[in-house]
Structure 1
Amino acid sequence: MASWIRRKPVADKTEFQAKIEHNLALASMGGVGFDRNAYGQYAVVPDGHQLQSLEKFQDRPNNIKTDHRFVSAKSFSEYLTRFFTDSMLITASSDKAQMYAVIDYHDADPECGVVLPSHGAHKAIYTARKTDKIKAWLSMCNTPLGQIDFGLFLEERAVDVIQPMAAEIMEMVMQFEATKKVEFKSSTRLADGSRQFSYVEDNQTRGGITLPDKIIVRAPIYQGMEPQDIKFLLRYRINEGSLKFIIKMHDEEEVLRDAFERCVDAVQHDVKPTQTVYWSSNRKTRAAGHSGAPEQQ
């Protein structure tokens, strides 16, 4: 039995039904009936037959169907500028650290304002990726570390640290090596926030070391973005005479969200003409022409 789709409203039933009946009659004779109306196109196909597209034989496809993916905000911006359309829609999600563009989004008729639906098949997706530097620091967060492991990590990543100074970091590393066999007894918080740890060695010699309560790292959070200062808190624990360290990024969720918003600012700054970015996940719409975007590396 032949079938059809895309019916007109009841008011046009007579005219529309006449066309259907004509095409059904054509289909009963082995032909294919086509029609176009304000609500789309349809075809009536005889039983046992299939309707085939000839698009692959055309010089060009009917529309662009792709979903290019980017890890660079600059490349994403350049792509959107190259394929810009008036109907382009750009959304951003700080939860996913991702921007999503539909270049051939639904448009509106400039004369009557009626929305003109689109297939929305031309897409571009930008996913902000963390840099190796910040991943190295985050990989050590919230995990208790012994003196030796913490000392080795600081020695390797000292180049990222701007506070304390590099010389102080290396002094800390040497202290960890010198006190790896002592028994820590107590700690005292000093006025500047640092902590002083008292220890005994061979149950006789007493001593102490002073350690900071935070480390400031300067590094880009997402690839292709400018470095920023990031605070990591240091927490200490004395467990059966051993000193354990815990690193934690201060206000991690807010820091990562702010870093992603810098990516969005960069994209919005670089796409020409400037586009509005709509935030998902309860973020506010970023108005067109927003200023203050950081420069790209």
Structure 2
Amino acid sequence: MSQSSEQFGQVTALAADPRSALETVLEAARIAAPTIFGQDGREYAALPKSFSLLDISDPNRLPSRVQQAVTVDDRASLSAYANRFKSDRSVIIADFDALTVSARLDWHEHNLGEDFPAPGYNAHAVTLKLRPSEEFARWDAMEGKIHPQDEFARFLEENSVDIGHPEAATMIEISRDFEATVGQTYKSALRLDNGDRKLVFETDTKVQNGVVIPEKFTLSIPIYNGEQPEELSCLFRWRAMGGGAVGLGFQWHRVEYQRRAHFTQIALTASEETGLPFYMGRFA
């Protein structure tokens, strides 16, 4: 029998038996795409011979895990998120230099656990990125510089609501007194018994008037966004400028200590709200 006759016979036989034709089509499809993924995540290969399943999964394949980095804007959100996803391995790491408080939810196992020292994934975390409050940022931009007296007087008046002591009305009065001396000539400064300074100005007609500035004043503003206000101390500064003018400004007094202490308190409060241990530092 010729080859063409044999092929014709096979085609005729398939046409006569539809089930054989279907099996042939299925077999061709399995050979074209032999890889099958099971519902459990394992991978199988369908082999042509008897179409048995052969497990070809990677024996070193890690189980599925959460990989998520969330950034929140306040401590309450940090604690709420951590409480939802925390486990016995979770920890809080507070980095003052970066102003971050981070709950590492899949950190390493405790050294008393059965899986120690197997490393944790460290792929699921929620981080509070602290930002200066609007009020602190506004005052901090003016701190450490000497400004023209009219400019500084306007700033005091516009932000008098932030001032704790002397009271806002007194600071507004001081700012207006300074505005009244613009164009006059600075003559001298006197230190008063309480440590305040009296700056003396003179008009063209030789009439003298004085402006008393406090040695220091306090602000009642939050340091970080979303936190409660606290009292910050400022030291009044002034400098005689050319042409009889006076420059004004202020410097923070030990505010950096308060910033660090408040940061530590935020981390401690988050630790208390979540029941997680916290560490001051950073990780690579």
Which residue number corresponds to residue 153 of structure 1?
A: 155
Residues 118-146 of structure 1 show CA distances to partners (whole Å, capped at 9, x for unaligned) of: 22111111111111011111011112111
Query: Do 2:232 and 2:255's aligned partners in 1 also have CA atoms closer than 8 Å?
Result: no
Distance in 2 of aligned mates of 1:151 and 1:223: 26
Which of these residues, 119, 124, 127, is aligned with residue 125 of structure 1? Answer: 127
Which of these residues, 219, 222, 229, is aligned with residue 220 of structure 1? Answer: 222
- 1:123 aligned counterpart, secondary structure: strand
Q: Percent identity?
A: 26
Distance in 2 of aligned mates of 1:267 and 1:108: 20
Which residue number corresponds to residue 251 of structure 1?
A: 254
Higher share of residues assigned helix: 2
Residues 175-205 of structure 1 show CA distances to partners (whole Å, capped at 9, x for unaligned) of: 0121111111221222212101112111611
TM-score, reference length from structure 2:
0.74
Which residue number corresponds to residue 180 of structure 2?
A: 178
Distance in 2 of aligned mates of 1:222 and 1:129: 6
Alpha-carbon offset, residue 101 of structure 1: 2.0
Alpha-carbon offset, residue 167 of structure 1: 1.7
Paired letter, 1:262: Q
Paired letter, 1:206: Q
- 1:116 aligned counterpart, secondary structure: coil
Where do 1:27-66 residues align within 5 Å? 36=59, 41=60, 62-66=64-68
Residues 27-52 of structure 1 show CA distances to partners (whole Å, capped at 9, x for unaligned) of: xxxx996663xxxx27xxxxxxxxxx
Query: Any stretches of 5+ residues in structure 1 without a counterpart?
Result: 1-30, 43-54, 56-60, 282-297
Which residue number corresponds to residue 237 of structure 2?
A: 235
Compared CA separation, residues 109 and 187, structure 1 to 2 (3 A): closer
Alpha-carbon offset, residue 93 of structure 1: 1.4
Alpha-carbon offset, residue 265 of structure 1: 2.5
Which of these residues, 255, 265, 268, is aligned with residue 265 of structure 1? Answer: 268
Paired letter, 1:126: L
Query: Do 2:178 and 2:211's aligned partners in 1 also have CA atoms closer than 8 Å?
Result: no
Distance in 2 of aligned mates of 1:111 and 1:135: 46
Which residue number corresponds to residue 276 of structure 2?
A: 275
Distance in 2 of aligned mates of 1:246 and 1:168: 17
Residues 55-100 of structure 1 show CA distances to partners (whole Å, capped at 9, x for unaligned) of: 9xxxxx9111111001201100111011111001211112222112
Where do 1:82-231 residues align within 5 Å? 82-108=84-110, 112=114, 114-202=116-204, 204-231=206-233
Distance in 2 of aligned mates of 1:89 and 1:268: 9
Query: Do 1:109 and 1:116's aligned partners in 2 also have CA atoms closer than 8 Å?
Result: no
Task: Give runs of ≥4 in structure 1 deviating > 6 Å.
Answer: none
Query: Any stretches of 5+ residues in structure 2 without a counterpart?
Result: 1-53
Q: CA RMSD in A?
A: 2.2
TM-score, reference length from structure 1:
0.71
Alpha-carbon offset, residue 266 of structure 1: 2.4
Alpha-carbon offset, residue 252 of structure 1: 3.0
